[in-house]
């Protein structure tokens, strides 16, 4: 059966895989191919064990795979056949040379642009799906139009999905943003992309803008989200000093509809592959344009996050008689948030390493992230152990620290956990998900974030 359109996505990661699975699922008349340089990942996308855990992903992949959804390593062939190419490669923080630790490392992105130029034989729409510094489309256009061999239109279509809820976010997006040049060609290309999304997204949710605004909106969205978390986390420190309860404060503040109630959960700090890198990228851009005060303002969001993670470790140490040396501490959760196995920039990485520095013994449990945890902590081997069963993990420990808000931790038998632990037993709730009064009555010394501690001393 011939397909109406050939869509290619370069990059089969957390964004490329689920996003293309949704397009294939909603648009059976389009052929969607996802390519990657990593053959292992592609083999996993073609197997029963997908490379990422995301609720609902297995079902939609299995429905479309080998019908109109294909995963392949044949990048050149994919480029030749495609009418529309999404580029969803990684854009990590640069770790060398100019802009080290701040700027986006665009080497994967640029390689992709050059490969498209090399292989393309017919006109194509190229869509930036990755998160990029503002004005990246200009660089892409300069590479693609270098020899005027083929006509390309470049669009920006940033992705706003959050991990753990990616399938729902893709199916019912709050908005889809498409940035284009306001030229006849740019607007025609934009309308082709609008047509894809209108297969399932209400038209009023698809917003269009200039290409630079679109690129910048993505960085700013992530900066605003992270800023809310750093704001409430900063206040959590003050709550702990003043016997206030950060959850009560967040509720009162969030009920002002101008502020809103979401993203005000105080925590052990935000993680994930994007918040920190995107804010640092924004900071770098501001400094590049000489906007030093603006840069400092946004950098503060990252600084508070680092402070919050360190504060959590210090609170543990202070509570446990100012020494963690030789103590066995069990971490409940290693993923950067619930419902994902992703551990990129997870606060658990920092906390584990700091605990090891303090000469504690660390036991890690997590329902989905243990494999990634082992990779993240491979240099800490003899100080860290990994146990799937949370009861076995906590047994013999001096403290349990909740680092990921997995639902399963809310319903565990904490009587049983308490009875197997070394006394006095401590519980540090880095996500404020447990009933602290009940835990206290069981016998734990309980330390939530931004709330008064409940102790038996
Ligand atoms: P990822 O690391 O999971 O996936 C990127 C993939 O691109 C990898 O599999 C890598 O092998 C592949 N790749 C790199 N260079 C390639 C090349 N030249 N040819 C073919 N494949 C290549 O990254 P991700 O989390 O999917 O993020 C991708 C982009 O989307 C980033 O810019 C990120 O900021 C943005 N983003 C991520 C999320 C998220 O939740 N993870 C959400 C919104 C936006
Ligand atoms: C985030 C954004 O929510 C997405 O819109 C965006 O597309 C994505 O980044 C991206 O560009 O990568 P994600 O990082 O997957 O999505 O997950 P979030 O739900 O935003 O959580 C990020 C971190 O903040 C997690 O560690 C989470 O536990 C923490 N968090 C979140 C809090 O500590 N408190 C909150 O109130 C909310």
Statement: the pTM of the whole predicted model exceeds 0.85: yes
pLDDT recorded at residue 1: 64
Cα–Cα dist 283/300, whole Å? 10
What is the per-residue pLDDT across 168-215, written as a single tens digit (0 to 9) for each?
A: 999 999 999 999 999 999 999 999 999 999 999 999 999 999 999 999
Query: Mean pLDDT of all residues in the chain?
Result: 97
**Quick check: 3 and 31 in contact, CB under 8 A?**
yes
Q: Which CATH superfamily is domain 5-201 in?
A: NAD(P)-binding Rossmann-like Domain (3.40.50.720)
Domain ranges in the chain are 5-201, 244-457
Task: Kindly list the distances between the CA atom of residue 172 and the CA atoms of 19, 205, 342, 453, in Å, as whole numbers in the listed order.
Answer: 12, 10, 22, 40
Q: In what order do the strands lie in the sheet with 399-402?
A: 384-386, 361-365, 328-332, 399-402, 426-429, 445-448
DSSP string over 34-91: EE-S-HHHHHHHTSSS-SS--TTHHHHHHHHBTTTEEEES-HHHHHHH-SEEEE----
Q: Give the atom of ligand 1 at the shortest distance from the alpha carbon of 342.
A: 41
- Smallest Cα–Cα separation from 433: which of 449, 418, 421? 449
What is the per-residue pLDDT across 337-374, written as a single tens digit (0 to 9) for each?
A: 999 999 999 999 999 999 999 999 999 999 999 999 99
Range in 21-25, 290-294, 321-325, 381-385 with the lowest mean pLDDT: 381-385
Range in 61-75, 140-154, 229-243 with the lowest mean pLDDT: 140-154
Question: Strand ranges (DSSP E) for 158-274?
Answer: 176-180, 206-210
Mean pLDDT for 51-57 is 97
Catalytic residue among 239, 274, 286, 330: 274
Secondary structure of 273-312 as H, E, C letters: CCHHHHHHHHHHHHHHCCCHHHHHHHHHHHHHHHHHHHHH
Cα–Cα dist 58/218, whole Å? 27
The two tokens of residue 378 are 């491979």
Question: Strand ranges (DSSP E) for 66-107?
Answer: 69-72, 84-87
Mean pLDDT for 154-159 is 97
Ligand closest to Cα of 162 equals 2
Distance in Å, CA 128 to ligand 1 centroid: 11
Percent of the chain with pLDDT over 70: 100
**Quick check: 34 and 12 in contact, CB under 8 A?**
yes
pLDDT recorded at residue 381: 75
Nearest CA to ligand 2 atom 17: 162
Ligand closest to Cα of 160 equals 2
Q: Mark whether 27 is an active-site residue.
A: no
Task: Decide: helix, strand or coil at residue 223.
Answer: helix
**Quick check: 454 and 445 in contact, CB under 8 A?**
yes
Q: Which CATH number fits domain 244-457: 3.30.360.10, 3.40.980.10, 3.90.1150.10, 3.40.50.720?
A: 3.40.50.720
- Max CA separation in the chain (angstroms): 76
**Quick check: 226 and 305 in contact, CB under 8 A?**
yes
pLDDT recorded at residue 137: 87
Mutate to test the pocket of ligand 1, among 10, 11, 116 (most ligand atoms within 8 A of CB): 11
Residue 304 burial (10 A CB sphere; 0-12, 13-18, 19+): buried
Other beta carbons within 10 Å of 383: 16
Q: Give the atom of ligand 2 at the shortest distance from the alpha carbon of 265.
A: 36
Consecutive H or E run containing 235: helix 211-242
Using CB distances shorter than 6 Å, the residues near ligand 1 are 10-16, 35-38, 41, 75, 88-91, 108, 111-112, 130-131, 159, 161, 163, 273-274
pLDDT recorded at residue 370: 98
Mean pLDDT for 90-96 is 91
pLDDT over 90 at 55, yes or no: yes
Question: Strand ranges (DSSP E) for 222-365?
Answer: 328-332, 361-365
Topology agreement, domain 5-201 and domain 244-457: yes
pLDDT recorded at residue 269: 98
pLDDT recorded at residue 147: 82
Q: Read off φ and ψ for residue 428, nearest 5 degrees.
A: -110, 110
Distance in Å, CA 162 to ligand 2 centroid: 6
Ligand closest to Cα of 129 equals 1
The two tokens of residue 234 are 């900063």
Task: Decide: helix, strand or coil at residue 338.
Answer: coil
């Amino acid at each position: 059966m011939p397909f109406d359109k050939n869509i290619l996505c370069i990059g089969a990661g957390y964004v490329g895989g689920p996003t293309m699975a949704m397009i294939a699922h909603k648009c059976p008349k389009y052929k969607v191919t996802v390519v990657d340089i990593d053959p292992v990942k592609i083999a996993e996308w073609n197997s029963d064990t997908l490379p990422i855990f995301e609720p609902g992903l297995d079902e939609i992949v299995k429905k479309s795979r080998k019908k109109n959804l294909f995963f392949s390593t044949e990048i050149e062939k994919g480029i030749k056949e495609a009418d529309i190419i999404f580029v969803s490669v990684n854009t990590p923080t640069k770790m060398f040379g100019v802009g080290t630790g701040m700027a986006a490392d665009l080497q994967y992105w640029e390689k992709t642009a050059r490969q498209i130029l090399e292989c393309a034989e017919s006109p194509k729409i190229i869509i930036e799906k990755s998160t990029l510094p503002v004005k990246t489309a200009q660089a892409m256009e300069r590479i693609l139009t270098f020899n005027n061999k083929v006509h390309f239109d470049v669009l920006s279509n940033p992705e706003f999905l959050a991990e753990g809820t990616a399938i729902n976010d893709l199916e019912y997006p709050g908005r889809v943003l498409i940035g284009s040049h306001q030229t006849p060609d740019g607007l025609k290309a934009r309308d082709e992309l609008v047509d894809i999304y209108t297969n399932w997204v209400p038209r009023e949710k698809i917003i269009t803008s200039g290409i630079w605004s679109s690129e910048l909106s993505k960085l700013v969205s992530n900066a605003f989200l992270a800023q809310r978390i750093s704001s409430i986390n900063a206040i959590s420190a003050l709550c702990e000093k003043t016997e206030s309860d950060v959850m009560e404060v967040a509720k009162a503040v969030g009920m002002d509809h101008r502020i809103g109630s979401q993203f005000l959960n105080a925590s052990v700090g935000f993680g994930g592959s994007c918040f920190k890198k995107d804010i640092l990228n924004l900071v770098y851009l501001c400094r590049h344009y000489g906007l030093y005060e603006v840069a400092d303002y946004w950098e503060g969001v990252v600084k508070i996050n680092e402070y919050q993670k360190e504060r959590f470790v210090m609170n543990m140490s202070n509570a446990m008689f100012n020494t963690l040396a030789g103590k066995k501490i069990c971490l409940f959760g290693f993923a950067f948030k619930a419902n994902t196995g992703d551990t990129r920039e997870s606060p658990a990485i920092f906390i584990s390493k700091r605990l090891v520095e303090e000469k504690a013994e660390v036991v890690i449990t997590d329902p989905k992230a243990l494999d990634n945890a082992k990779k993240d902590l491979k240099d800490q081997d003899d100080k860290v152990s990994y146990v799937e069963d949370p009861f076995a993990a906590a047994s013999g420990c001096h403290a349990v620290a909740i680092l990921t808000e997995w639902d399963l931790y809310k319903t565990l038998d904490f009587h049983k956990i308490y009875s197997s632990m070394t006394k006095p037993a401590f519980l540090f709730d880095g996500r404020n998900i447990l009933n602290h009064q009940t835990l206290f009555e069981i016998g734990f010394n309980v330390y939530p974030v931004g709330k008064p501690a409940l102790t038996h001393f």
